[in-house]
Amino acid sequence: MPAAEIDAVVFDVLGTLVDEPAGIRAGIRALAPSLTDPAVDELVRLWHTHVDGEQRRILDGRRAYAASDALDHEAAQLVAEAAAISDPAAVATLALSGRRLPAWSDTVSGLARLAQSFPLIGLSNASRTALLGLNAHAGLRWHQALSAEDAQSYKPAPSVYELAVTVSAVRPERLLMVAAHAWDLRAAQTVGLRTAYVARPVGDPPAPSDRFDLYARGLTDLADQLGVPAPAQNVPNEALETSQDVRSAG
């Protein structure tokens, strides 16, 4: 896809730029260090099952809107009860695990490279407050960060993607939505956005029937496909000195 066809790049955050399960897993380990790995993994699944289920209830109109902070606290409460821990302070600390998610190894450098050529917009189901903490912890740099809280809904509701269209003030077909979740990209397509799938270990892989504009192994590959110049390599001082010596001798 030629870069000239794109005016801005919109990024999913959770799973695409940060390793969400790893952050939740670290929080559970801090809560209950004696748990086995399988037990921790089961509690991570419990967390995600609750959050995903409650977001679906909100989207279906079976529950009034609640920001991600509230859903994370509910999930933390369930996890703590399953681990036989009742300390409210420990639960509150665990609930903040959703803001302490590590970035993937190519995230920070990839965003910096893409920012040379495009405005970058983060678009997340995380609340405004959670997104602020998450961005600071993971070192994510944006031109604009948008929360689904502004739409009082959650992806894949069309109103969330329309936030990016409104803020960028460009036609949807000139926005490129980047995500590791095929369901996220399918929803973006319904609003008219272009789409790029980026493979991550925790993502939702495309189905054979999916037709996205780009498929990338990571942000470096995505930048290559968009024709964004690679950062200049630092030249060692010794090499510079040798080059200067050669020019002097000539």
Contact in structure between 9 and 119 (CB atoms under 8 Å): yes
Average pLDDT of span 53-69:
97
C-alpha distances in Å from residue 100, one per residue of 40, 65, 152: 17, 24, 23
Share of the chain above pLDDT 90, in %: 89
SS3 115: coil
What is the dotted CATH code of the domain comprising 3-18+101-225? 3.40.50.1000
How far, in Å, CA of 1 to CA of 11, rounded?
17
How far, in Å, CA of 110 to CA of 115, rounded?
8
Backbone angles phi, psi at 121, to 5 degrees: -125, 125
SS3 47: helix
Backbone angles phi, psi at 36, to 5 degrees: -75, 165
| Predicted structure pTM score | 0.90
Indicate the angle between helix axes 37-59 and 20-31, nearest 10 degrees. Answer: 120
Quick: pLDDT tens for 194-221. Answer: 999 999 999 899 999 999 999 999 999 9
Contact in structure between 178 and 11 (CB atoms under 8 Å): yes
Reply yes or no on whether the pLDDT at 107 is more than 50.
yes
pLDDT of residue 3: 66
Reply yes or no on whether the pLDDT at 23 is more than 60.
yes
How far, in Å, CA of 99 to CA of 93, rounded?
11
pLDDT of residue 203: 87
In the chain, where are the structural domains located? 3-18+101-225, 20-99
Residues 6+ apart with CB under 8 A from 239: none
Runs of H (alpha helix) within the chain = 20-31, 37-59, 68-82, 88-95, 107-114, 128-138, 158-168, 182-191, 219-225, 237-249
What is the dotted CATH code of the domain comprising 20-99? 1.10.150
Our CA dihedral for 72, 144, 10, 223, rounded to 10 degrees, sits at -120
Quick: pLDDT tens for 63-84. Answer: 999 999 999 999 999 999 999 9
pLDDT, mean over the chain: 92
